[in-house]
Homo-oligomer: A and B are copies of this chain.
Amino acid sequence: MVRFGIVGCGHMGKGHTRSIWDGQVPGAVLTAVCDTCPTALKWAKENDSNIKTFDTATAMFDSGEIDAVLIATPHYDHPIIAMEAMDKKIHVITEKPAGVYTKNVREMNEKAAKAGVVFAIMYQQRTHPMYRKMREMVQNGELGEIKRTSWLITDWYRPQAYYDNGGWRATWEGEGGGVLINQCPHNLDLWQWICGMPKRVTAFAHNGKWHNIEVEDDVTAYVEYENGATGIFVTTTADCPGNNRFEVMGDLGKLVCEHDQLVHYKLKVSEREFNRTNTEMFGSPKAERIVIDCPGDFPQHPEVLRAFVRKINGEGELVACGEEGINGLTISNAMHLSSWLGKTVELPLDEDLYLAELEKKFK
């Protein structure tokens, strides 16, 4: 059995705790929880009188009670706690985002590479059959070369009451951002997982535009990829009802994922080839519309945990390697930085500049 400890018994931590208690993660047993809040520890003890409780991660790591840690603390602490666990040869699965700024996430990744432990990140949206299918089709070349990507992901509605609830939330010093760092890590990860990383980011992020918060709650971003493709990403927590429309346009057609449906517009010939050879002034390649069957369920967080346990036991692959958390975060950081500086930001990101600019925002 893999003995789990959880750091951070808030909303997400409690959810994961229940998944393990409910037997949704075969081969895992929850032996310890850690939280700075006694109420959270009391809650755990009431549900499992054998559980060990700790008020610091260090004490839990040093207790010998756990083989693996699930980190569900506020974002800034993710890499700090993860690195300590790695040093102590404890397997790590961290909640998203991997951290707030890529500089220490990179350090975490470097440590992970040396530590010889399993390192995973809770990107449960990667278990969605439609996103898996999109990735598979893009990777298989079914869309050809990508020309344009577009994600209108504005259905993260949050009212002021949400922001008024948590003290660390929606502050630069407590959370390190708004909709980009809290709601969008999944989308930013899936975007790059399916379409690849951009090379250049220009973003327009508005702080406290719709809510009484310090951080951004409305973002429009434009990106360019190495191959010349372009992309847009639009998000907010104030549109209602918002959109979740993810499109990938390729040389061989496009995929549109919206309204819980994945539609493939498939060209008979490549557009680039058609463009070169066609002689009709108003000719265009013919497209077939196909609703793509995406079989399978959406096993979410428990599947990410199951894969993590399997990997620790030397079987199968992770849903998401922890090291990949830096990708979506890089895009997020680049969007912030572009917006703060009012200019286009090139990747690789200037990580020191990002951190310096972020720290300027601390009160």
Contact = CB atoms under 8 A, between A and B. Distances in A.
A230 B241 contact: no
Contacts of A202: 202, 204
A241 B265 contact: yes
A148 interface: yes
Nearest to A204: B222
Interface string A192-231: 0000000000101010011100000010101010001010
Contacts of A218: 230
Interface residues of A, number: 54
A115 interface: no
Given A159-B284, A202-B204, A271 B147 contact: no
Contacts of A254: 239, 241
Interface string A267-289: 10001001110111111110100
A147 B239 contact: yes
Contact of A210 (B239, B275, B283): B275
A292 interface: no
A263 to B, nearest CB: 11
A183 interface: no
A281 B240 contact: no
A47 interface: no
8 contacts: A157-B284, A159-B278, A161-B279, A161-B280, A165-B281, A210-B275, A211-B275, A243-B247
Given A154-B249, A211-B275, 6 more contacts: A157-B284, A159-B274, A160-B276, A162-B282, A206-B230, A239-B271
Interface of A: 147-148, 150, 152, 154, 157-162, 165, 202, 204, 206, 209-211, 218, 220, 222, 224, 228, 230, 232, 234, 236, 238-241, 243, 245, 247, 249, 253-254, 265, 267, 271, 274-276, 278-285, 287, 342, 344
